[in-house]
A and B are shown apart, each in its own frame.
Chain A
Amino acid sequence: MMAKKTLILSLVVSSFALLFCQALFAASKLNVVATTTTLANIASEIGQDKIRVGSIASPKQNIHHYAPTPKDVLKVKRADVLIHEGLDLEAWREPLLAAAGNMRFLGEGKDSIDVSLGVPLLEIPTSLSRSEGDIHAFGNPHYIGDPENAKIIALNIAEGLAKVDPENADFFRGNATVFNKKMDAKIKDWEARMAGFQGAPVVTYHRSWSYFVKRFNLSVIGEVEPKPGIPPTAKHLAGLIQKIRDKKAKVIIKEPFEETRTPKKIADETGVQVVTLSQSVGEPKESKDYISLMEQNISSLEAALKHEGGK
Chain B
Amino acid sequence: MSPFLMLMWKPLLACLILTGIHTYLGVHVVERKVIFVDLALAQIAALGAVLAFMFGFSLHGQATYWFSLGATFIGAIIFSMTRTRREKIPQEAIIGIVYAVAAAAAILILSRAAEGDEEIRHMLVGNILLVDLREILTMAILYGIVGSFHWYFRKTFLLISTKPEEAYRKGIKVRWWDILFYLTFGLVVTSSVHIAGVLLVFSFLIIPAVGAILFSDKISGRLFMGWGFGILASIGGIGLSYYFDLPTGATVVCVFGGLLVLLAIVKNFSFKKG
Contact = CB atoms under 8 A, between A and B. Distances in A.
B123 interface: no
Nearest to B125: A67
Given A67-B247, A70-B241, A95-B132, A131 B118 contact: no
Given A74-B7, A77-B7, A131-B54, A229 B130 contact: no
B245 A228 contact: no
A227 B111 CA distance: 8
Nearest to A65: B118
Interface string A87-131: 000011001101100000000000000000000000000000111
Interface in B63-122: 110-118, 121-122
A132 interface: yes
A95 B114 contact: no
A68 interface: yes
B3 interface: yes
A6 interface: no
Most buried by B among A67, A77, A95, A231: A67
A230 B117 contact: yes
B132 A70 contact: no
A133 interface: yes
B197 to A, nearest CB: 10
Contacts of B246: 69
A79 to B, nearest CB: 14
B114 A134 contact: yes
Interface in A128-169: 129-135
Given A98-B132, A99-B129, A69 B245 contact: yes
A130 B130 contact: no
B3 A74 contact: yes
Contacts of B112: 131
A64 interface: yes
B117 A68 contact: no
B114 A99 contact: no
Interface in B188-214: none
B248 interface: yes
From DSSP, what is the main secondary structure of chain B's interface residues? helix
A213 to B, nearest CB: 20
B56 to A, nearest CB: 7
B114 A70 contact: no
Interface residues of B, number: 31
A68 B3 contact: no
Contact of A64 (B3, B111, B118, B130): B118
A73 interface: yes
Contact of A95 (B8, B125, B127, B247): B127
A71 interface: yes
Contacts of A71: 245
A68 B129 contact: yes
B130 A98 contact: yes
Nearest to A231: B117
A13 to B, nearest CB: 27
B178 to A, nearest CB: 37
Nearest to A135: B115
Contacts of B117: 229-231
Contacts of A233: 111
B7 A130 contact: no
A73 B114 contact: no
B10 A230 contact: no
B53 A130 contact: yes
Interface in A59-91: 64-65, 67-71, 73-74, 77, 91
Residue among B118, B247, B248 with the most chain A CB within 10 A? B118
Contacts of A230: 110-111, 113-117
Contacts of B54: 130-131
Given A130-B53, A130-B113, A131-B113, A69 B129 contact: yes
B63 to A, nearest CB: 14
B242 interface: yes
Contacts of B114: 130-135, 227-230
A99 B113 contact: no
Interchain residue pairs A-B with the least CB separation, the first 5: A229-B115, A133-B114, A95-B130, A135-B115, A71-B245
Given A67-B247, A229-B114, 8 more contacts: A65-B121, A71-B245, A73-B130, A74-B7, A95-B130, A130-B54, A133-B114, A230-B116
7 contacts: A69-B245, A73-B130, A92-B127, A99-B129, A99-B130, A99-B131, A130-B53
